[in-house]
Structure 1
Amino acid sequence: MPYVKPTDLVTRMIDAGESKVLMSTRDTLIRSFMGGAILALAAAFAVTVSVQTGQPLAGAILFPVGFVLLYLMGFDLLTGVFTLAPLAWLDKRPGVTFPGVLRNWGLVFCGNFAGAFLVAVLMAIYFTYGFATEPSAVGQAIGEIGEGRTVGYADYGAAGMLTLFVRGVLCNWMVSTGVVAAMMSDSVIGKVVGMWMPIMLFFYMGFEHSIVNMFLFPSGLMLGGDFTIGDYLLWNEIPTVVGNLVGGLTFVGLTLYATHGRTAPKRRGVVAAEPELVGTARR
Structure 2
Amino acid sequence: MFKPTVEAIIEAAVNKRDYMNEQLPRYFISTLLAGAYVGLAIILIFTLGGPLAAAGSPFQGLVMGASFGLALTLVIFAGSELFTGNHMFFTMSTLAGRTTYKDTFKNWGIVFVGNLIGALLLCLLILGTGLFKAAPAEHLIFTAAANKMTAPLTELFFRGILCNWLVCLAIWMSFRAKDDISKLVLIWWCLFAFIASGYEHSVANMTLLSLASLLPNAPEVITLGGWLHNMIPVTLGNMVGGILFMGMAYWFISPVKSKKVSNAPTEHADAVHKHVS
Determine the C-alpha separation between the residues in 2 that align with 1:48 and 1:175: 22
Q: Is 2:173 the counterpart of 1:181?
A: yes
Residues in 2 aligned to 1:31 and 1:181: alpha-carbon distance in whole angstroms: 22
Once the two structures are superposed, residues 108-132 of structure 1 have per-residue CA deviations (whole angstroms, 9 ceiling, x without a partner) of 0111001111112222333457xxx
| Alignment of 1:204 onto 2:196 | yes
- What amino acid is aligned across from residue 75 of structure 1 in structure 2? S
Q: CA RMSD in A?
A: 1.9
Cα distance, 1:262 vs structure 2: 4.8
Q: State the TM-score, normalizing by the size of structure 1.
A: 0.81
- Partner of residue 85, structure 1: 90
Distance in 1, matches of 2:13 and 2:94, equals 8
Partner of 1:140 in structure 2? Answer: 139
Structure number with larger C-alpha Rg: 1
Q: Do residues 103 (structure 1) and 98 (structure 2) align?
A: no
Residues 122-165 of structure 1 deviation map (CA, whole Å, 9 limit, x = unaligned): 22333457xxx53268x9321221111112x2xxxxxx111110
> 1:7 maps to which residue?
3
2:246 paired residue number? 252
Quick one: percent identity of the two aligned structures?
Answer: 28
Which of 3, 14, 20 is 1:18 aligned to? 14
Question: Which one-letter code corresponds to 2:146 in the other structure?
Answer: E
Task: Name the SS for the 2:79 alignment partner.
Answer: coil
TM-aligned CA deviation for residue 32 of structure 1 = 1.1
Rounded to whole Å, the distance in 2 between the matches of 1:8 and 1:60 is: 31
Query: Which of 232, 238, 242 is the equivalent residue of 2:227?
Result: 232
Give how far 1:228 is off: 1.3
Structure 1: 5+ residue stretches without partners: 154-159, 264-283
Matched AA of 1:228: T
- Residue 18 of structure 1 and its aligned partner are, at CA, apart by 1.5
Q: How does 1:56-67 map to 2 (within 5 A)?
A: 56-67=61-72
Segments of 5+ residues of structure 2 without an aligned counterpart are 258-277
Amino acid at match of 1:20: K
For residues 217-228 of structure 1, what are the structure 2 equivalents within 5 Å? 217-223=209-215, 224-226=218-220, 227-228=222-223
Contact 1:11 1:261 (8 Å CA) reproduced:
no
- How high is the TM-score relative to the length of structure 2? 0.83
Is the deviation greater in 102-111 or in 118-127?
A: 118-127
SS at match of 1:23: helix
